[in-house]
């Protein structure tokens, strides 16, 4: 998984007045959990742009006073009116310790059911995955090239031995539902098949 570097400074004071002063200066107060002790730091709000405002998922390499701490975004708080970032919680990564993340799903292939007028329903655009940091994928690939009208793609079809899905086996990732247009096409295909049958019999 790709990583984004964030440069921050250690916070000496974590009180309300100090936190307010940081926000007024355009800084975001943050905490990294998961290690021996929580690490309190702050960074410029614009430093989180590529980590927060994107459909992609990244790990973070947080540089604090010359030390680099690998982490993932765990929780984020926004201002209810301005949508400015108020606070971010990170979770420290260790090479030998599995971590859980929500990973985006990438559809590949073309569904024959959709070509026949069916409606594609993408019910789970992100899936919760558990893996070692080195095995975290940028996305989960879901092949829809065999989905006909009425078919569903279950999470069990996306098995990968490098990570584990934290969902029940009957979780539907994507499905192709019927539509009025699809019904009309199916009826036309059936009529064409029936019409072709007598011709084939006569030829024989």
Band (202; pLDDT cuts 50, 70, 90): very low
Residue 182, pLDDT score: 57
Band (87; pLDDT cuts 50, 70, 90): very high
Task: Look at residue 176 and tell me if it is in a domain.
Answer: yes
179 lies in the same domain as 105: yes
DSSP 185: H
Q: For residue range 8-56, what is the model confidence (pLDDT) as tens digits?
A: 999 877 778 888 888 888 899 999 999 999 999 999 999 999 999 998 9
49 lies in the same domain as 112: no
Task: Look at residue 170 and tell me if it is in a domain.
Answer: yes
Mean pLDDT over 65-78 rounds to: 94
Look at residues 47, 64, 93 and tell me which one is the last residue of a structural domain.
93
The yes-or-no verdict on residue 201 having pLDDT over 50 is no
User: Is residue 21 within 8 Å of 81, Cβ to Cβ?
Assistant: no
Which phi and psi (to 5°) does residue 194 adopt?
-65, -35
Task: Look at residue 22 and tell me if it is in a domain.
Answer: yes
Look at residues 74, 93, 112 and tell me which one is the last residue of a structural domain.
93
Mean pLDDT over 159-186 rounds to: 84
Q: How many other CB atoms are found less than 10 A from the CB of residue 118? A: 25
Q: Is the pTM of this model over 0.95?
A: no
CATH number for the domain that contains residue 135 = 2.170.120.20
150 lies in the same domain as 71: no
25 lies in the same domain as 86: yes
User: Is residue 68 within 8 Å of 32, Cβ to Cβ?
Assistant: no
The fraction of the chain above a pLDDT of 90, given in percent, is: 73
Long-range contacts from 11-16, C-beta under 8 angstroms, 24+ separation: 11/40, 11/41, 11/42, 14/40
120 lies in the same domain as 169: yes
DSSP 69: E
Alpha helices by DSSP H, the chain: 16-24, 49-52, 112-115, 180-203
108 lies in the same domain as 89: no
The fraction of the chain above a pLDDT of 70, given in percent, is: 88
Q: How many residues does the chain have?
A: 204
Q: Which domain holds residue 57?
A: 3-93
The yes-or-no verdict on residue 200 having pLDDT over 50 is no
113 lies in the same domain as 53: no
The yes-or-no verdict on residue 180 having pLDDT over 90 is no
User: How is 92-107 classified by DSSP, letter by letter?
Assistant: E--TTS-EEEEEEEEE
Residue 143, pLDDT score: 96
Look at residues 70, 93, 116 and tell me which one is the last residue of a structural domain.
93
Query: In whole angstroms, what is the distance from residue 136 CA to residue 103 CA?
Result: 9
Q: Tokens 């295909």 label which residue?
A: 189
């Amino acid at each position: 998984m790709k990583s984004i570097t964030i440069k921050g400074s250690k916070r000496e004071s974590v009180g309300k007045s100090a936190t307010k002063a940081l926000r007024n200066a355009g800084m975001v107060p943050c905490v990294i959990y998961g290690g021996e002790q929580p690490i309190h730091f702050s960074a410029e709000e614009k430093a989180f742009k590529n980590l927060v405002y994107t459909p992609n998922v990244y790990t973070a390499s947080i540089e604090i006073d010359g030390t680099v701490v690998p982490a993932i975004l765990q929780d984020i708080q926004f201002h209810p009116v301005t949508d400015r970032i108020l606070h971010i919680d990170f979770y420290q990564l260790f090479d030998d310790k599995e971590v859980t993340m929500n990973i985006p799903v990438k559809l590949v292939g073309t569904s024959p059911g959709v070509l026949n007028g069916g409606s594609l329903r993408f019910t789970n655009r992100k899936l919760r995955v558990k893996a070692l940091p080195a095995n975290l994928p940028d996305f989960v690939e879901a092949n829809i090239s065999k989905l006909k009208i009425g078919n569903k793609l279950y999470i069990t079809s996306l098995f990968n031995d490098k990570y584990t899905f934290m969902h029940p086996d009957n979780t539907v990732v994507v499905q192709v539902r019927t539509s009025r247009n699809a019904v009309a096409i199916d009826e036309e295909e059936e009529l064409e098949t029936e019409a072709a049958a007598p011709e084939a019999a006569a030829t024989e």
